Amino acid sequence: MGLDKDFGIAIGSLKKGKRNLITDVKGVKVGHVTLNDGNIKTGVTAVLPHEGNIFKEKVMASSCVINGFGKSMGILQIEELGTIETPIIMTNTLSVGTAATGLVKYMLEQNEDIGSTTGTVNCVVTECNDGRLNDIRGLHVKEEHVLEAIKNASEDFEEGAVGSGTGMVCYSIKGGIGSSSRIVELDNKEYTLGAIVMSNFGSLKDLIVNGDKTGERIYNNQQQEKDKGSIIMIIATDIPLSERQLKRVSKRAVIGLGRTGSYLGNGSGDICISFTTANILKHYSDTNIVSMKMLDDEAIDKVFRAAAEAVEESIISSMYHAETTVGINGNTRKSLRDLL
């Protein structure tokens, strides 16, 4: 999968993973539930950091709020403790509460100790506003959709107008879910960094595809909108990084975002969450002192480049894979493929 195999577009210079998806990072899985029926254009996408019990084996993490016009939850504790302990859920803005309840129920089912013999849980739910195509006021996302998305999680998953990306609009045309990965060589060993995005931002005239000002060529005959919406960017890697280093990697997502033409408009919530599967923190530790590996900062430029490339390609991939969609009130957003 990916732009190079599907559409002949090669973004960046680094080697790509086998699938060119975030799931090239071993253990990471992604699942969708797509709600696509008439005026209903929405859904849920779940990102699982690993295959085990995430609450009991937390992944080290950090985030970057590039522009804070957003309603995601769970980021506060990520910033304080530097860990993620649940699947990461993506959905629409008005479904954050419902998705959070569904995720809480899943975590309680998996862990009898939560809220009983140990503390509660920090559920991570992210969002974008799909109201331009979806009947967002209908609150069509239900708790069971979260459970189903988690159950559906696998190494292979669809991109485009699927899951939480079903009703998303990017650069005034059809956006959605996109993913990509890069290989980084460190100490003669190959590591993987992958990204997944939910794209819902930008104005068409600003769109740049692999350095080409594509938007300027096609915007005259299309609807031009003010930059608003949001983008959620999730970066996963198996490179040993500290939460400080993951914060630095999260910040580099803005490079990939900017390369597609975004200037981070006032009404756009631009958020990145990064985690590593190489540093696992146990909820119940046998020792007071725990060991952790991290990368020499002098070698981190390779990781920065990989993050920028993977995010850039993920955004463009979300648009290329998305199908032309007719939503609420007859609003139509064409696929980028149909405009070229």
Q: Which residues are catalytic?
A: 230, 268, 270
Both structure tokens of 235: 């970066």
> Which two structure tokens, joined as six digits, stand for 16?
């790509």
Residue 262, phi then psi, degrees to nearest 5: -70, 145
Query: How many other C-beta atoms can be found within 10 angstroms of the C-beta atom of residue 221?
Result: 6
Tell me the backbone φ, ψ of residue 186, rounded to 5 degrees. Answer: -135, 125
Which residues make Cβ contacts (< 8 Å) with residue 223, sequence separation at least 6? 172, 204
Amino acid making up residue 34: T
Give the pair of three-digit tokens for residue 100: 């959070």
Enter the tokens of residue 206: 């600003």
Asked whether the beta carbons of 43 and 135 are under 8 A apart, the reply is no
Alpha-carbon gap, residue 188 to 310, rounded angstroms: 22
- How far apart are alpha carbons 164 and 184 in whole angstroms? 29
